[in-house]
Amino acid sequence: MKKDLLKIDDLSKDDILDILNTADQLKYEHKHNIPHEHLKGKSLGMIFEKSSTRTRVSFEVGMYQLGGNALFLSSRDLQIGRGEPIEDTARVLSRFIQGIMIRTYSQEEVETLAKYSSIPIINGLTDLEHPCQVLADLMTIREYKNILEGLKVAYIGDGNNIAHSLIIGTLKIGMNISIACPKGYMPKEEYIARGKELSELEGTKFIITTSPEEAVIDADVVITDVWASMGQEDEAKIRKEAFVGFQINKKLMELAKSNALVLHCLPAHRGEEITGDIIDEHSNEIFDESENRLHAQKAVLLKLMKNNY
Ligand code: CP
Ligand code: NVA
C-alpha cells in the first residue's frame, strides 16, 4: 500500500479488498467488545477547512477505539490560516504526530501536504475526491449483497467528488457503473478517461449519460449526492434548475431492480436530489453506510499507521 490515501486510485484492487476485509473484522470486534487497540500511543491530526459531522466524529472515535488519540485542527486556528506554508506545516506536524486526515478544497494542497510529510496523509474530502466515503459505500454494498463484482451501480446527480471516487472505486473492483449528470455537470474528463481504461481492463460496463432513466435501469445500487457541494452554495439556485429530473424518487426507482439498495453519503437535501420517502424506505442501508465510515476508516488507519497490519 502507498504511504498516503489521497485518491481512491492510490489503492489497488487488492488494497481495497484488504481494507474491506479488515473493516469487516474490526466491525465484528467492535460489536463483540473485543479490544483492538493497535494504535496505542499514536496520534492523528485532523485538519478541517470545511464542515463535517460524519468524517470528524468517525475519525476521532475510530482513533480512540484503536487506542490512539485524535486532534481536531481547524485551519482557522492553525497558522496555515495566517499564511504559514503547507510545506512547513507538513514538516512540523510530522515531528509530533503519526498521521494526518485533511478535509479541504484543493486536491493540490493535499498532495503538497503529502509530499512534504513523512507521515501518512488521508484525504477526508476535497473538491475532487472523497475516497473514505467510497470505501464505506463498497463495504455497505458487500454487507447487503455479499458480492461486489458484476453488480450494477447507478449514480444520479452532480459529477462531483463522490462521483469521481465512485467511478474509480467501483470499476477497479469489477463492478459496472452508469453515471447520469446534466450537461455541464459531468465528471472531470480525466476521471471519464480513467474509468474507460479500468472498464476495459476489468471487462465491465461504464456508461456516462444525461438520462437518469437510462442509468438506473436494472441497477443493484442507486446512489446520489447533493446538487450543490460545500463551496458551491452561491450556485445552489442555478443548480436546482439544472438538476430538475435528476431526483431519486419512487418513479425512478421503479426502473431499478426491485431489491435495489439506495445509498447517500449524507447530508441529504430531501425534496432535491432524493425524496424523503425514499430515504425512509432505505434508511437501513443509508445509516449503515454512515456507520461504516467508522469501520472502513479504522481499517485505513491501521493499514497506513501500523506497520504490516
Ligand atoms: N459524508 C460525509 O463525509 O459527511 P460529513 O460531511 O458530515 O463528514
Ligand atoms: N459532494 C458533497 C459531499 C459531502 C459529504 C460535498 O462536497 O459537499
pLDDT at 164: 98
Distance 290 CA to ligand 2 centre (A): 14
Q: Tell me, using a 6 A CB cutoff, whether residue 165 lines ligand 2.
A: no
Residue with cell 476508516: 297
- Mutation pick for ligand 2 pocket among 55, 160, 289 (CB with most ligand atoms within 8 Å): 160
pLDDT at 193: 98
Give the number of the atom of ligand 1 that is nearest the alpha carbon of residue 57: 8
Distance 22 CA to ligand 2 centre (A): 26
Nearest CA to ligand 2 atom 2: 229
C-alpha distance across the termini of the chain, in Å = 11
pLDDT at 307: 84
Sequential pLDDT tens for the chain (309 residues): 999 999 999 999 999 999 999 999 999 999 999 999 999 999 999 999 999 999 999 999 999 999 999 999 998 889 998 999 999 999 999 999 999 999 999 999 999 999 999 999 999 999 999 999 999 999 999 999 999 999 999 999 999 999 999 999 999 999 999 999 999 999 999 999 999 999 999 999 999 999 999 999 999 999 999 999 999 999 999 999 999 999 999 999 999 999 999 999 999 999 999 999 999 999 999 999 999 999 999 999 999 999 878
pLDDT at 81: 87
Nearest CA to ligand 2 atom 7: 229
Residues 6+ positions from 258 with CB-CB distance below 8 Å: none
Distance 210 CA to ligand 2 centre (A): 21
Q: Tell me, using a 6 A CB cutoff, whether residue 133 lines ligand 1.
A: yes
Residues 6+ positions from 242 with CB-CB distance below 8 Å: 182, 184, 185, 227
